[in-house]
Amino acid sequence: MSSNPSPAPPAARRRRRLDPTTPGLLSLPLAWLALFFLVPIGFVGAYSIDALSLYPGAHALTLAGWHDLVHGSVYLRLFWKSVEMSLIVSGVVVLCAYPLAYYLALSGTKRKYVLLLILIAPFLTSYLLRVLAWKVILGDHGVINSFLAWTGIRDPDHPLSQLLYSRFAVMLVLAYVWLPFVALPIFVSLDTLDRRLLEAASDLGASRLQAFRKITLPLSLPGVVAAFLFVFIPTVGEFVTPSLVGGTGGFMYGNEIVDLFGNALDWRTGSVLSLFLLGVVAALTLIFSRFLQVQRVTAS
């Protein structure tokens, strides 16, 4: 597959205004998304007001689904619970991934690509199976509790049962799942950092901490923001992990949507909830992507 980025002839010379090749670059990805993403979402929109319906027969248009969302306390409460859990997970994961990426990119280790691969490789094992393996580790008679009992720290009849089937388990497993994924964009932005900047800072008498604060951190921020989005956004709609390790307390907004489509056959409310999630997170992305641009301006 060739990666020819500019199918338009290189005739253009005006660079400061709209570049005529820009539509050439953007048209394919935008058309793809319009056709295979926006149009399908249009269908969701149609279901949310009963313009389309699962059952045959005529239906009056209705905003009842939206009314339920706003006035039913359950949905919004679940939404905020998911946002909160997602924020914690993303924050923790980015904090953990940054030093990893930093070590790989800047410690001068010769094996950085091998190490990077080692970091990503667990991803090649099915997510579902890795979650099942976590249950073996966290269970009442699992690896951790057996170890605690063996060392005598805990009575085997009173294992740490909060480890599994709890909110903690959901967040731990999510963090586990995302960590390597998140290290990548940070690594990419740190790896391309111009080291001469750091050397210059050092020559000018800056300490390592100062150099980090004034140069490395700001320059790697786009990668960090990208990484944060990587985790935060999909986690809000997450449903597999909560249903596997969350026990009775792990139910999240994503599970609600799945249940509405999957068990209740209530596509209308399901569509409303989906569009709401989509809208909120799209707004957040918009804000963040402005932030990404601001970073670029300050960096150059």
Site for other proteins in 35-74 (CB under 8 A): 36-41, 43-44, 52, 54-56, 74
* Binding residues among 192-231 for other proteins as defined by CB under 8 A: 192-193, 195, 198-199, 201-202, 208, 211-212, 216, 219, 222-223, 226, 229-230
What's the min distance (Å) between Cβ of 259 and other proteins?
5
* Binding residues among 235-274 for other proteins as defined by CB under 8 A: 236-237, 239-240, 243-244, 247-248, 251, 254-267, 270-271, 274
Query: Per the structure block, which two tokens stand in for 272?
Result: 């409303």
Q: What is the largest CA-CA distance in the chain?
A: 78
What are φ and ψ of residue 238, in 5° steps?
A: -65, 145
Q: How far is the C-alpha of 247 from the C-alpha of 167, rounded, in Å? A: 8
* Binding residues among 153-172 for other proteins as defined by CB under 8 A: 161, 164-165
Contact between 289 and other proteins by CB under 8 A: the answer reads yes
What are φ and ψ of residue 166, in 5° steps?
A: -155, 170
Contact between 130 and other proteins by CB under 8 A: the answer reads yes
Query: Per the structure block, which two tokens stand in for 286?
Result: 């918009």
- CB of 85 or CB of 106, closer to other proteins: 106
Q: Which of 59, 67, 84, 117 binds other proteins (CB under 8 A)?
A: 117
H helices of the chain, in order, are 21-33, 39-48, 64-71, 73-106, 112-120, 127-138, 143-150, 167-191, 195-203, 208-211, 217-236, 240-245, 253-262, 267-299
What's the min distance (Å) between Cβ of 234 and other proteins?
6
